Structure 1
Amino acid sequence: MKKTFKKNERLCSLKIIGSLFDRNNSANEGVFAYPVRVVCKSSEETHTQVLFSVPKRQFKHAADRNLIRRRMKEAYRLNKELLKNSYYISFIYVGKVIENYVVIEKGIKNCLKKL
């Protein structure tokens, strides 16, 4: 598997994002490994589509949110071969402070192993 993160791997559809966060849908799985929480749903697509989210309430400056998002994307890109099936996945950063790359990568690896 190539270690790339192309446009077709990004989750952009508002309909799918809405169904991913729908509280009434019991088909959604949730996994937590500090500092990342994962919400996922099985996909009919041939490849996994991913969304990365960092709360504006926690990190006021866009530069901080972008730094965390870049670190999460890089950790996913390097470890996405751990996924066996195809999913719609949302990675949500839940840490209160900006963690270094090693901590974020460890959390994402643990989440991907649990899926």
Structure 2
Amino acid sequence: MTALPQNTAGASFPKQEKLKSRKQIAALFEQGHSVSHYPLKLVYLPTTTKTVTQAGVTVPKRRFKLAVTRNRIKRLMREGYRHRKSLFFNNNTTAYAFLFLYIGKEIPTQQAVHKALEKVAEKFQKQLSDEPK
């Protein structure tokens, strides 16, 4: 096990923050913006109806045939997001819908997922600051 950052004392991922709406997921793929850092890709879309930011994770069945493997990777991604959630909300007042896609070909380690999530968060913040308002 690796040591987790000290600032994650109140980190949680409650039910209302989980992205489950098929309509919202479809809208993410149609209208969403994306940033990626291998082996993760983040697709995001500002939402006007929800007051809370929602996130979901997905792993392709084409690359990982065994459900056990897919579930392990999803668990690692949810855990990484839960601990690094604050990186995505620096100076953000808008609610977003996030979908984290695993685009790698091998089973990742926890450290690799955490590092990739930090890089994706940095790129997300940079892309938000570069967008015209």
TM-score under structure 1 normalisation?
Answer: 0.91
Give the Å deviation of 1:43.
Answer: 2.0
1:12 aligned to which of 12, 16, 20 = 20
Partners in 2 of 1:81 and 1:46 — Cα distance?
16
User: Equivalent residue of 2:44, what SS?
Assistant: strand
Q: How far off is 1:65 after superposition?
A: 0.3
Query: How far apart are the structure 2 equivalents of 1:81 and 1:72?
Result: 15
Return the offset for 1:109: 1.1
Unaligned runs of 5+ in 2: 1-7, 125-133
* Cα distance, 1:29 vs structure 2: 1.4
1:33 pairs with 2:37: yes
Task: Report 1:1-115 matches (<5 A).
Answer: 2-22=10-30, 25=31, 28-44=32-48, 45-84=50-89, 85=92, 86-115=95-124
Count residues with an aligned counterpart. Answer: 111
Aligned amino acid, residue 11 of structure 2 = K
Deviations 1:29-82 (A, max 9, x none): 110111101110012233210010000000000000010000000000000001
The percentage of counterpart residues that share the same residue type is 38
> How does the TM-score come out when normalised to structure 2?
0.79
Larger-gyration structure (1/2)? 2
Which amino acid letter does the alignment assign opposite residue 17 of structure 2? E
Deviating beyond 3 angstroms after TM superposition, the runs of 4 or more aligned structure 1 residues are none
Structure 1 vs Structure 2 CA RMSD: 1.3
